Chains A and B, each alone.
Chain A
Amino acid sequence: MSVDVLLNERKAQSATVLANGAELVSGIIKEIAGNDISTSINGNTATNQVIQTIALQRISKKLEEKRKNLR
């Protein structure tokens, strides 16, 4: 298997896991936002994409911590 294929397979598998995580987070946040939790950030509606990006940053940070702990 070529290096490119291996790299892209890794990306595809990781992206599937991360995208499912992000989708789950945004779905839950949309469900609970309202009274105690704002539906906007800096006056703009917190869209799925914004929520997912924040979630992906947090998940990546946690995974990076795990990676460092593995070494």
Chain B
Amino acid sequence: MLNKNTFMNAVGFAEALAANNVKAAALPNTVIYELVRLSNPEFFNQKLDNEQSLDLFADSVQLATQSDHGNLSAHSAAIDGYIQDISQLVSNHISYAKNSVVPVINDFSEKYRQFRESISGSEVAKYNVVKLCLPSILKDESFLEVLKPYKNRKPLQPSKSFFLKTDKTDEELLALVSIGHNRTDKLIHEWLGQFNPEFLSHVWQSFFVNSKGAATFKFQDIEKRNVFERCDVALAMFLISNKLFNDVQDAEGMDLNTYKRIMAEYRDYSGSVLTQAIDRIVYFTKAKTLVVEALTEPYTVKVNGELYDPWLDNGGDSDVILGLAVSGSDVRNLDLINENAQKYKNQWNSYVAFLSTKEKNESVLACKRWIEGEVYSGLKTLDDTEKEYINSHPTYMDTVKKLLAEELDMIKSKDLEDVDLVSLRIIGKVRFFYTCAYEILSDMLEASKVNPDIDPREAALFAAINYVADYVADQITLAA
């Protein structure tokens, strides 16, 4: 039965159509067409010339469709039958979407999320400015006194390498570089704190032990390092050799005299390298050399910390240094850098913009390639219903291929960021194109976006109402 309330509720929506000079009409041979036919009041002959007449028409519709003393009206019998048939179909669609399609979407979205994370790192993050400073221990007057004998001495590489048999723990290595003076040792420990824990071990393995593996440091490489890093290796070598000169270790193929001579050579060499490097740093700072070294792979610009911090305090910007690096300029001097600061900064901004566009384009292509591969890979694992459908529809793969190409073409760069929506579109509209899963699940997703706290069953209610309403709307046309 169409009761008066239902009719009058619909009048409100009918008015909007009438205002546009159109009316709703049921398409022939449809469920709605049949229900409309059965709800027309046969004996209504009043002119519909005012609001009251519309009210009377509603009464007549109710009268025409209501059951009478236990006799089911034709309208009620028809609508009850349709409800039984259609509700079973809708239940099946919802059940299949929930139990078969959703797990495939969830699996796809999890993999897609992981894939996006794997490509999310930007090249820009690989560009770094690293500040190098002269450690406090090398500014300490009493320690500099220890180094005085090595000043202005040309570093001579030791004539022989040590092959000490003793392996050292981290604690033992720390004891080797400590000199037993509290204040100085505190400065030494502070200096060591900036390295990873393996630093001392690498120095030990590289210069003092017959290391089987590839050495981290080599004599011939020490002077190729920038002055700050040269200081670090030389200081570690100096502290160890200075201690081991007196604390004699068991060395392979060496008598005591040879041991003492070689250890002195180590100490003298590292002491000379150290004093030379300190002098060079002092000179760099006086000459205002801000950039110490610029490396590609990883893209790192190493700067003189003695100048960098005051420069930042006076309005300097790390983007200027990065711009200098990407411009390929050899300029290292602070004054020259300041002269062209804006130019370098612009170069960095342009580079970041270029990189960002390039990465965005590459990311879009990578995502689309991944999606394509994953869809085909997913088709290797099908449930029984899918197998049955594919076996009875030989053109399934051709359709999937066509729909996938269309969908990928329609997905914009911004869309790709929405993992849930992409997964739903690809799995729902492509792999399960022959079901109503996309329509049902997209409405549920929409409801959960409007209200993130919504109960999934409530979202399913909205989706079901919309789904059946769409089925009804498909049976209605507009007429003048």
Contact = CB atoms under 8 A, between A and B. Distances in A.
Given A16-B40, A25-B469, A28-B86, A53 B94 contact: no
Interface string A17-48: 11111111101110111001111111000101
Nearest to B58: A15
Contacts of B6: 19, 22-23, 48, 52
B473 A56 contact: no
Given A17-B32, A19-B2, A28-B90, A56 B10 contact: yes
A31 B87 contact: yes
Contacts of B86: 24, 28
Main secondary structure of the interface of A (DSSP, over half): helix
Interface in B455-480: 455, 457-458, 460-462, 464-466, 468-470, 472-478
Of the candidates A11, A62, A67, the one having the most CB atoms from chain B within 10 angstroms of its own CB is A11
Given A16-B36, A19-B2, A59-B472, A38 B17 contact: no
B472 A11 contact: no
B478 A24 contact: no
A59 B51 CA distance: 24
A43 B470 CA distance: 26
A46 B86 CA distance: 20
Counting from the closest, the 7 A-B pairs by CB-CB distance are A14-B14, A62-B473, A8-B48, A58-B469, A21-B472, A31-B87, A38-B457
A24 B32 CA distance: 9
B9 A32 contact: no
A23 B50 CA distance: 25
Interface in B1-46: 2, 5-11, 13-18, 20, 22-26, 31-32, 35-36, 39-40
Interface string B204-247: 00000000000000000000000000000000000000000000
Of the candidates A12, A16, A39, the one having the most CB atoms from chain B within 10 angstroms of its own CB is A16
B83 interface: yes
Given A17-B32, A67-B478, A37 B472 contact: no
Contacts of B83: 24, 27-28, 31
A53 to B, nearest CB: 7
A12 B56 CA distance: 11
19 contacts: A5-B47, A8-B48, A11-B18, A12-B48, A12-B54, A18-B24, A20-B32, A20-B39, A24-B468, A24-B472, A25-B468, A28-B468, A52-B6, A54-B465, A54-B469, A55-B469, A55-B472, A58-B470, A59-B473
Contact of B5 (A17, A18, A21, A49): A49
Interface of B: 2, 5-11, 13-18, 20, 22-26, 31-32, 35-36, 39-40, 47-51, 53-54, 57-58, 61, 79-80, 82-84, 86-87, 90-91, 94-95, 98, 455, 457-458, 460-462, 464-466, 468-470, 472-478
Of the candidates A15, A31, A60, the one having the most CB atoms from chain B within 10 angstroms of its own CB is A15
A41 B461 CA distance: 8
A26 to B, nearest CB: 8
B50 A4 contact: yes
A41 B5 CA distance: 21
A25 B465 contact: yes
A19 B457 contact: no
Contact of B13 (A18, A33, A41): A18
A46 to B, nearest CB: 6
Given A13-B24, A27-B79, A70-B478, A60 B461 contact: no
Given A13-B25, A56-B9, 18 more contacts: A11-B23, A14-B10, A14-B17, A14-B24, A15-B10, A15-B13, A16-B7, A17-B36, A20-B26, A23-B2, A24-B79, A27-B79, A28-B468, A29-B464, A32-B87, A58-B469, A62-B469, A67-B22
B101 to A, nearest CB: 13
